[in-house]
């Protein structure tokens, strides 16, 4: 039995994710996404696809980056 790091549910079939030296247990991919996926700097949505990055800042799309004043980024195909 493990306890989900996001919702606290005790579950007998958790998944374990190790990232950047930290280990987490989750009862679903949904909870893993909520805990670990970065948020777009401009619109706040969780970036669960490729997204784009400028220096250390993550955006969900080149459009959001452009709206935030960052030019030259393109979406991944």
* Chain segment 15-66, per-residue pLDDT in tens: 999 999 999 999 999 999 999 999 999 999 999 998 999 999 999 999 999 9
77 pLDDT above the threshold of 90: no
What pLDDT score does 76 carry? Answer: 74
Residues 56 and 69 in one domain: yes
If you ran DSSP here, which 8-state letter would residue 1 be given?
Answer: -
What pLDDT score does 48 carry? Answer: 94
Residues 59 and 46 in one domain: yes
Residues 21 and 48 in one domain: no
| Region 61-75 average pLDDT | 95
Residues 43 and 72 in one domain: yes
Q: Which of 44, 76, 71 is nearest to 58 (CA)?
A: 44
DSSP 5-24: TTT--EETT-EEEEETTEEE
The whole-model pTM stands at 0.81
């Amino acid at each position: 039995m493990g306890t989900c790091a996001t919702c606290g549910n005790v579950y007998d079939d958790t998944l374990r994710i190790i990232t950047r030296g930290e280990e987490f247990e989750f009862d679903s991919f949904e909870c893993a996404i909520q805990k670990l996926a970065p948020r777009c700097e401009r619109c706040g949505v969780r970036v669960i696809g490729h997204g784009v990055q400028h220096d250390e800042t993550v955006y969900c799309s080149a459009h959001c980056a452009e709206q935030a004043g960052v030019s030259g980024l393109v979406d991944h195909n």
